Amino acid sequence: MTTAPTPVPTTPAATSPGGGAGASATATTTSPTTSPTTAPAPRRRPLARLGGASWLATVPLLLFFLIGFGLPTIAIVIGAFTTSSDAETGAGQFTFDNLADSVQGGYLTAMLSSLKLSALTALLATALGLPLAQAVVTSRRGWLRQAVLTASGVLANFGGLPLAFAFVATLGNAGEITRLLHLTDHGWSLYSFTGLTIVYLYFLVPLMVLTITPALDGLRTQWREAAQNNRATTVQYWLHVALPILAPSLLGGFVLLFGSAFAAYATAAAMVGATVPLVSRSIADALSGNVLVGQGNLALALSLNMIVVAVLVMAVYLPLQRRSARWLS
């Protein structure tokens, strides 16, 4: 999505008891990866006097959620399985046509292309983000770490339109670098799958750095020293010690990036137009009426497909995140 839930480096809200230099160097994220900084307080008897009425304070949130989130979700599910108002057979008939159409032809291409782009960019960003985060974590310069993490927080939020325009100005057909290096003569085009990949990496790599840094911080020096005392090489240490411990965090990060790239809309919309079909763009097109007569509800079926993918992503991500939080706390 344009406004993906991206973590931002902040000094932890929880003040660490140690304080001093060590504490000022810790960074945490406000993403779903946030691990509990302190253990939750042990459960106690509810306060007798407030116990009865306290649930009232949650009512506004629950009501808002039911209306604001429940109704659209119901609309998507109902709409995906019924004929639209411009259909020949009349509106509201139960049908599987919308779903069937949404996984055929151009829409299938768009879905596959979206999945491919998200998987590729997430994989690349994981592979590139890990060394970068490691370089930052092992650096002896505190300011470097602070600068990179702050910059990552900004860039991870730099999705959407500004990013698209910045890249058009840089590598687009009239972009500065394109003209400087005469890239168009070599067949370069930003408005392609490759171009989009490069642009997506611009906010995915920082997101990965933010996600993986707490995990890298959790790798204890003693583990490395123990491996070295047993005459392990650096490669062996990474293969047999570090990567297995990092695996849940890495996979969790990959899935988060995948979801982020999959939901993104604005960057692609502003940049490539129709040259790279993406499912988020097909939904927007279908919503603005660019569909055949009688397929008005197709957008809702496409949305349902998108939600199914996102649910799968979260179903993988949340358990992984708990697992890595347990290992590295």
Partner 1 sequence: MAQLTTPARPGRRTVRWWRGAVLLLAGVYFVVPLAASFWFSIDDPQGISFAAYTGLLSAPGFLDSLWLTLGLAVVTVVVLLLLLVPALIAVRLGSPKLRPVIDVLCTLPLVVPPVALTAGLIGVLRWGPDYLMDTPFFQTFVFIQDPDFPLVLVIAYVLMALPLAYRALDAGLRSMDVRTLVEAARNCGASWPRAVFTVVLPNLRGALLNASFLTLALVLGEFTTASILGFQPFPVWIYSVGNSQAHMSVAVSILSLLLTWLLLLLLATAGRERHAKTAAS
* Interaction between residue 314 and partner 1 (CB under 8 A): yes
In the complex, minimum distance from the CB of residue 104 to partner 1, in angstroms, rounded to a whole number: 19
**Region near partner 1 per CB under 8 A, out of 94-102, 118-126, 132-140, 241-249:** 132-140
User: CB-wise, 114 or 250, nearer to partner 1?
Assistant: 114
Q: Output the DSSP codes for 46-74.
A: PPHHHHTTGGGGGHHHHHHHIIIIIHHHH
Site for partner 1 in 163-222 (CB under 8 A): 163, 165-171, 174-177, 201-202, 205-206, 217, 219, 221
Site for partner 1 in 24-53 (CB under 8 A): 24-25, 28, 30-32, 34, 36-38, 40-41, 43-44, 46-47, 50-53
State the DSSP code for 40.
Answer: P
Give the whole-angstrom CA distance, residue 244 versus residue 83.
50
8 A C-beta contact, residue 178 and residue 100: no
* Interaction between residue 226 and partner 1 (CB under 8 A): no
Whole-Å CA distances, 261 to 127, 159, 220, 273:
16, 10, 32, 17
Q: Output the DSSP codes for 190-222.
A: SSSHHHHHHHHHHHHHHHHHHHHHHHHHHS-HH
* Interaction between residue 107 and partner 1 (CB under 8 A): no
8 A C-beta contact, residue 158 and residue 210: no
* Interaction between residue 293 and partner 1 (CB under 8 A): no
* Interaction between residue 259 and partner 1 (CB under 8 A): yes
Q: Which of 117, 122, 137, 328 binds partner 1 (CB under 8 A)?
A: 137
* Interaction between residue 125 and partner 1 (CB under 8 A): no
* Interaction between residue 62 and partner 1 (CB under 8 A): yes
Give the whole-angstrom CA distance, residue 149 versus residue 197.
23
**Region near partner 1 per CB under 8 A, out of 98-106, 159-167, 237-245, 246-254:** 159-167
Given phi > 0 = left and psi -120 to 50 = alpha, else beta, which region is 160? left
User: CB-wise, 125 or 250, nearer to partner 1?
Assistant: 125
* Interaction between residue 81 and partner 1 (CB under 8 A): no
